[in-house]
Amino acid sequence: MRSLQAALPAFAAGAASVLAFAPFGLYPVGFLCLGVLAWLLDRASHHRAAFIYGLLWGLGAFLAGVSWIYVALNRYGGMPMPLAGVAVLLFCAYLALFPALAGALFVRLRSGGPVWRAALFAGLWCGSEWLRGVLFTGFPWLASGYSQTPPSPLAGYLPVVGVYGVGGVLAFVSALTAFVPWASRPGMVRALAVVAGVVALGAGGSRVAWTAAEGPPLSVALVQTNIEQSLKWSPEYFTEVLQTNARLVRDSRADFVVLPETTLPTLVERLPVGYLDLLGRYVGERGAALVLGVFTRDADGQIFNSAISVGNGPPQYYAKRHLVPFGEYSPPLFGWFYRLAAIPMSDQTRGAQDQRPMALLGQRIALNICYEDLFGAELLSSLPAASLMLNISNLAWYGDSLAQPQHLQIARVRALETGRPMLRSTNTGMTAVVQPDGSIEAVLPGFEQGVLEAQVRGFTGMTPYARWGNGPVLLLAAVLVSLGGLRRRRDRRLSACA
């Protein structure tokens, strides 16, 4: 009965946790909601009840936070409404397994005082979020650390331990606050002092500049084409798509112009003769360069989601390395999915892992395409060479939803982790310039056509996270969980002897 009474608070806390993320930005809610989960787990009498609490918390969080996937499946993918709803529910249930696993293990291993239990919870939470971000190619969207962008005091940890590390810090602070022994004044003071120290250290870290600007500013024009997804792939609308892109490039006056992901919705070889040359002339006549998204095909017939450059300098190329399952390729045994959904260009090939940044206009620009910027550790291979980061995206698949502001918040975290500006050119939003401190210098309104013009400088240097990646954080998480297991075993031996 007690488990049933706790079910609703667990689900409600998970759903409310979405308020900590963009566009709401109520980052303290992240502490509160994760604290509720930790409090419920600490009072769970059995690991099976804890599994249910974690599962319900996760279901609330993911149903509220990523249900925009339904729009892609139903409105644009053509999947019937009931099947799309079931698909989203099953996907969210899968994602909820990770907090459920963390909860069950916490109850199995918990021992000791509030600090020890909070550290165990933090290690398990960090490990479960990392696992969600890598298993079956990973889906790290809504990792709790993303909610702690500035002005959160924990943002200062992002350049040091990355998003999973900040998720662990958030879990530790939330759990320790939930575990405060209010009946014991000394214990209460110690626990609250630790919480205050962790928060203060993060706030102080926000003042540290790990990287530095170098060289003169570069004028950039980030184009937001705002082409309706339902029309983008229509043969009757193709000429207008080409004309819109050409006009926006022609009218720009910046040294570096960017068009979004798959802005030309076809294979580059199928473009009208001379079209790319025309775009190249528009920018090349003033010594500028253009990067645009288009599909390419190699000699073996493999298709790539690519970015190419024209104009100033030799042509350069980048192919997306981390593809979206079910959207850009079919996992084994899931061919039936494509018989229910109509998704164009859904048989793509991964690009090579060792692609170098594009050398353009005195900068070395590290490309990532749409979903790739969720995987912070995978972007580190371009450092320290890259001076700028560039993401081109098309989130029109998800309509006017939480996906756009959430994705911009992810870009803010990548800028903090790498110590580099992150430029974003998107089809429908949010096109923006993000500085290395995670601040948004400029952003275009969503679902409006426009060009964002700004001056940006390249950055050099390495943050601790850029240097070491997730390794130290995962090692610490493993140590904390191992210590929890050892303490639990010791306590059982002592109980048996008593």
Q: Nearest CA to 9 among 64, 66, 67, 53?
A: 53
The sign one gets for the Cα dihedral 412, 460, 370, 414 is negative
From first CA to last CA, the distance across the chain in angstroms is 32
Element (H, E) at 340: helix 335-340
461-494 pLDDT per residue, tens: 999 999 999 999 999 999 999 988 887 777 667 6
| For the chain, percent of residues with pLDDT exceeding 90 | 80
Strands 422-426 and 450-460: unpaired
450 DSSP β-pair partners: 224
Q: Where are the domains of the chain?
A: 2-208+469-497, 212-462
CA 355, distance to chain mean position in Å, is 21
Q: Identify the active-site residue in 320, 328, 372, 417.
A: 320
Report how far residue 466's alpha carbon sits from residue 84's, in angstroms, rounded to the nearest whole number.
Answer: 39
| Gyration radius of the chain over CA positions | 24
Residue 337, pLDDT > 70, answer no
Q: Identify the active-site residue in 126, 370, 372, 417.
A: 370
Q: Nearest CA to 64 among 25, 14, 23, 27?
A: 14
Residue 232 is a catalytic residue: no
Give the CA distances from residue 294 to residues 303, 339, 427, in Å, rounded to whole numbers and listed in that order: 10, 25, 13
- 212-462: what CATH class? alpha beta
Q: Nearest CA to 198 among 154, 165, 168, 236?
A: 154
145-174 pLDDT per residue, tens: 999 999 999 999 999 999 999 999 999 999
Residue whose pair of structure tokens reads 């409310």 in the numeric block: 16
256-271 pLDDT per residue, tens: 999 999 999 999 999 9
- Confidence grade of residue 185 (pLDDT, cut at 50, 70, 90): confident
Strands 363-369 and 388-393: parallel
204-217 pLDDT per residue, tens: 999 999 999 999 99
- The confidence score (pLDDT) of residue 424 equals 98
39-89 pLDDT per residue, tens: 999 999 899 999 999 999 999 999 999 989 999 888 877 888 999 999 999
Q: Identify the active-site residue in 92, 126, 129, 261.
A: 261
- Dmax (CA) of the chain: 86
Residue 261 is a catalytic residue: yes
Give me the numbers of helices (H) and strands (E) for the chain, helices first please.
Answer: 16, 13
- The confidence score (pLDDT) of residue 461 equals 98
- The confidence score (pLDDT) of residue 1 equals 47
